[in-house]
């Protein structure tokens, strides 16, 4: 049952990712990416982690993609112009090579990890709990957590400062 | 067996919610009419009881069109994307407690041992987060409908909607977070269970007010219905939709309204609980055996829940009849400069009071007092915060 669900969800995620790259319309791309995010959220659910499932939905599907769509729609930049020559022609082969390299590394890691190191579902049950995650964030990983917070704050302040400068001119 | 029960539950809840939507439209039209000194629809059946059916038949027979310049696929998918979140949000809301292991007492058990409650589909330990996640993807239906229609009115409506929903989601999240902090759990079942003594509205009076406003904005009801603003946008995102596709948007909007009312009841008004429910369950079990006890308990708790939801629905209609639509800049100012800071303050209050004051009941009352004072101060500040120039100009033109 789990395996069948995993195969279906994985296929949907892959189709979404592929269609996102191929699609010529930015809004369609955004929708396929949304499909991909949804499928990945379901994969978290299959890994017995409802917390990560909801976070994936809230943060990626609910906040980031909405902002993407908002900007795309506001700028009216849905269609890719075919007439303009691609100035970043070198980026495509480079991205492909790097992507393949990443895939190879992931494959090597996955094959080398002994199956005993993979926690079974009973062990994993306690992992995704919000209380456990919160405890880890505020004890062992306090410094990275705080640094992330400061980085986000810097971004917010940057937006306000840039906006103020524009107003004075 | 369990799978069969689950499938039946899903069917029943989907049908019940859809039926609830149909009669909510009638309820709203009748109450609104009364509030405006009219009679309202009363021709089809006794007291207009068949009006929703007449409306549905009418919508079925309307011509189903796709605008020629519309983005066809997105145009067709958008109504579905509006309805699906409105329906799946019901999965974690407890409507009552009907334990089909026939033991009423398990409903009041903290650990939930021996509990098989068929009036809640999924009791997951992150239920509150699930509610927030589904609310946050509810914006897609509206946004995509506006974009795919390829019409400027629809487009303006959908841009307004995405900005509004993103802004008010923050205040909503803050209000919900303070509830979670009060009860120390993400599970909707446990939140209801802990409201046996004081309802959540006492410690979270400020949180409740914020939730009420933010959730009204989140389901784009009056006075926050700029998204459809008939006078300026000719109906907003639904302008280019007709027939059943329009009906689906209409349905999603009303089902979301019922859902946020149910969530408000669950978080702040004790869910399916009311005083004396436990005594009733015990009494019926002693009188007529455990099966009757559990059944009575289930029916009474469901009725209590529905009555509370009905109160909120009436409140929503009342608000719609009483307040004019907000201006767009005021809407943004209100969301970002008042609701969000108040929500953050409320989180700080909740944390500090529950750590410093011993005892849940005392802390709740203290929190209630602090919340009321804060609301009073905020109301006073918002009155004095108007720019002097505008007041002077208004006075001059008044003379």
pLDDT digits (tens, 9 = 90+) for B58-93: 888 888 888 887 777 888 888 888 899 989 898 888
Same domain, B73 and B49: no
Give the per-residue pLDDT at B399.
42
pLDDT digits (tens, 9 = 90+) for B164-217: 888 888 889 899 999 988 888 888 888 888 887 788 888 888 889 999 999 888
pLDDT digits (tens, 9 = 90+) for A81-129: 555 556 667 787 888 899 899 999 988 888 877 666 555 555 555 666 7
Same domain, B49 and B140: no
Give the per-residue pLDDT at A93.
84
How many angstroms separate the CA atoms of B242 and B219, rounded?
A: 21
Q: Lowest-pLDDT range, A83-87, A159-163, B307-311? A: A83-87
**Cα B322 → chain centroid:** 19
**Domain stops at, among B19, B41, B61:** B61
Same domain, B18 and B127: no
Same domain, B148 and B293: yes
Nearest-CB residue to B133 (from A58, A73, A130): A58
Same domain, B101 and B10: no
CA dist list (Å): A141 to A116, A123, A150:
26, 21, 15
Same domain, B111 and B15: no
Same domain, B73 and B40: no
Nearest-CB residue to A69 (from B124, B134, B143): B143
B136 and A CB contact within 8 Å: yes
Give the per-residue pLDDT at B398.
47
CA distance B250 to chain A (A): 22
Query: Which domain covers residue B25, as residue numbers?
Result: 1-61
**Domain stops at, among B21, B39, B61:** B61
Q: Lowest-pLDDT range, A78-82, B25-29, B268-272? A: A78-82
Same domain, B277 and B386: yes
Instruction: Tally the domains of chain B.
Output: 2
Same domain, B53 and B85: no
Residues in chain A: 169
Inter-chain touch B166–A55, beta carbons under 8 Å:
no
Q: Is B25 exposed, middle or buried (0-12, 13-18, 19+ CB in 10 A)?
A: middle
Same domain, B389 and B262: yes
pLDDT at B357 over 90: no
User: Rounded to 5 degrees, what are φ and ψ at A79?
Assistant: -95, 140
pLDDT at B369 over 80: yes
Same domain, B261 and B345: yes
How many angstroms separate the CA atoms of B159 and A77, rounded?
A: 14
CB B209 within 8 A of CB B341: no
Give the per-residue pLDDT at A151.
93
pLDDT at B243 over 80: no
Residue with tokens 């948007």: B249
ipTM of the complex: 0.76
B162 and A CB contact within 8 Å: yes
A23, A66, A76, A127, best to mutate vs chain B, most B CBs in 10 Å: A66
**DSSP letters spanning B166-200:** HHHHHHHHHHHHHHHHHHT-S-HHHHHHTTSSS-T
Nearest-CB residue to B129 (from A51, A69, A73): A51
Inter-chain touch A54–B130, beta carbons under 8 Å:
yes
pLDDT digits (tens, 9 = 90+) for B375-392: 888 888 877 656 555 555
CA dist list (Å): B13 to B10, B118, B130, B150:
5, 11, 18, 35
Inter-chain touch A61–B124, beta carbons under 8 Å:
no
Percent of chain B with pLDDT over 90: 8
Q: Lowest-pLDDT range, A50-64, A66-80, B329-343? A: A66-80
> Where is pLDDT greater, at B110 or A153?
A153
pLDDT at B29 over 80: yes
B155 and A CB contact within 8 Å: yes
Nearest-CB residue to B162 (from A27, A50, A66): A66
Instruction: For chain A, give every domain's residue range.
Output: 1-80, 130-169
Q: Which residue of B has its CA nearest to A71?
A: B159
pLDDT digits (tens, 9 = 90+) for B256-291: 999 999 999 999 888 888 887 878 878 877 888 878
**Domain stops at, among B11, B33, B61:** B61
pLDDT digits (tens, 9 = 90+) for B108-131: 777 777 777 778 888 888 888 888
pLDDT at B319 over 70: yes
- The dotted CATH code for A1-80 is 1.20.120.1200
Same domain, B67 and B139: yes
CB B180 within 8 A of CB B193: no
Q: Which residues, in sequence order, are bridge partners of residue B117?
A: B99
């Amino acid at each position: 049952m789990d395996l069948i669900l995993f195969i279906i969800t994985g296929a949907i995620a892959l189709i979404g990712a592929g269609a996102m790259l191929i699609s010529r319309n930015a809004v369609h791309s955004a929708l396929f990416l949304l499909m991909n995010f949804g499928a990945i959220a379901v994969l978290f659910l299959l890994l017995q982690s409802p917390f990560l499932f909801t976070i994936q939905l809230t943060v990626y599907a609910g906040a980031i993609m909405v902002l993407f769509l908002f900007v795309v729609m506001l700028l009216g930049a849905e269609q890719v112009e075919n007439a303009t020559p691609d100035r970043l022609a070198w980026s495509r082969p480079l991205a492909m090579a790097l992507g393949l390299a990443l895939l190879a590394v992931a494959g090597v890691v996955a094959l080398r990890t002994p199956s005993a190191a993979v926690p079974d579902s009973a062990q994993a049950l306690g992992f995704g709990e919000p209380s456990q995650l919160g405890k880890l964030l505020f004890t062992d990983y306090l410094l990275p957590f705080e640094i992330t917070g400061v980085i986000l704050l810097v971004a917010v302040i940057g937006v306000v400062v840039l906006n103020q400068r524009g107003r004075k001119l | 067996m369990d799978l069969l029960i689950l499938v039946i539950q899903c069917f029943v809840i989907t049908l019940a919610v859809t039926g609830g939507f149909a009669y909510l439209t009638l309820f709203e039209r009748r109450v609104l009419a009364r509030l405006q000194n009219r009679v309202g629809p009363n021709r089809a059946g006794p007291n207009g009881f068949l009006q929703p059916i007449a409306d549905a038949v009418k919508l079925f027979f309307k011509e189903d069109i796709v605008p020629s310049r519309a983005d066809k696929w997105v145009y067709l998918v958008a109504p579905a994307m509006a309805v699906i979140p409105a329906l799946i949000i019901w999965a974690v809301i407890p409507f009552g407690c009907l334990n089909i292991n026939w033991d009423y007492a398990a409903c009041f058990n903290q650990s939930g041992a021996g509990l098989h409650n068929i009036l809640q589909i999924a009791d997951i330990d992150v239920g509150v987060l699930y509610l927030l996640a589904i609310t946050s993807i509810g914006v897609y239906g509206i946004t995509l409908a506006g974009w795919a229609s390829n019409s400027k009115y629809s487009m303006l409506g959908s841009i307004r909607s995405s900005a509004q929903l993103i802004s008010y989601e923050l205040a909503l999240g803050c209000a919900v977070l303070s509830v979670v902090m009060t009860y120390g759990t993400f599970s909707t079942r446990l939140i209801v269970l802990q409201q046996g003594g004081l309802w959540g509205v006492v410690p979270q009076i400020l949180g409740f007010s914020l939730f009420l406003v933010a959730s009204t904005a989140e389901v784009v009801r009056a006075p926050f219905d700029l998204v459809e603003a008939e006078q300026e946008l000719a109906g907003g995102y639904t302008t280019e939709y007709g027939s059943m596709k329009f009906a689906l948007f209409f349905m999603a909007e009303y089902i979301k309204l019922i859902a946020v009312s149910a969530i408000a009841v669950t978080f702040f008004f004790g869910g399916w609980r009311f005083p004396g429910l436990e005594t009733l369950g015990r009494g019926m079990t002693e009188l007529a055996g455990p099966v009757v006890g559990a059944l009575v308990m289930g029916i009474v708790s469901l009725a209590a829940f529905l009555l509370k939801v009905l109160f909120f629905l009436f409140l929503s209609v009342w608000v719609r009849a009483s307040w004019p639509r907000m201006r767009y800049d005021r809407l943004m100012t209100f969301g970002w400069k008042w609701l969000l800071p108040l929500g953050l303050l409320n989180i700080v209050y909740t944390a500090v009071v529950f750590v410093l004051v011993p005892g849940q009941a005392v802390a709740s009352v203290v929190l209630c007092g602090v919340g009321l004072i804060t609301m009073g101060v905020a109301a006073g500040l918002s009155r004095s915060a108007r720019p002097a120039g505008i007041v002077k100009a208004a006075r001059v033109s008044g003379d």
